[in-house]
Amino acid sequence: MTFNSTNDVGQLIQFKVWAREYLTKHHDANVTYSLLKIAMLQGDMEWQQRLHQRGHQLFPEDKRFNLPEQSK
């Protein structure tokens, strides 16, 4: 992702728009994870939680989306 080397927020916004549209038609763990990292970077806990749950539901074997154990 070019943003990592340039820190150009415009590129980040372009990617978010593209990725959200892309994920309405495709199941892609890497794109979902990229959006999750963006949500983390932006401190958007609600969006981060939704992406994490989506990733876990669609890709249960992908360790990037492992959900924390529920406390008893």
Retrieve residue 52's tokens: 């994490």
| Band (10; pLDDT cuts 50, 70, 90) | confident
Angle at 7 between CA 30 and CA 28, to 5 degrees: 10
What is the C-alpha to C-alpha distance for residues 69 and 54, in angstroms, rounded to an integer? 17
| C-beta separation of 39 from 30 below 8 A | no
What is the C-alpha to C-alpha distance for residues 1 and 12, in angstroms, rounded to an integer? 9
Summarize pLDDT for 17-41 with one digit per residue, the tens. 999 999 999 999 999 999 999 999 8
Confidence at residue 35, expressed as pLDDT on a 0 to 100 scale: 96
Longest CA pairwise span in the chain (Å): 44
Nearest in space to 26 (alpha carbons), one of 37, 14, 18: 18
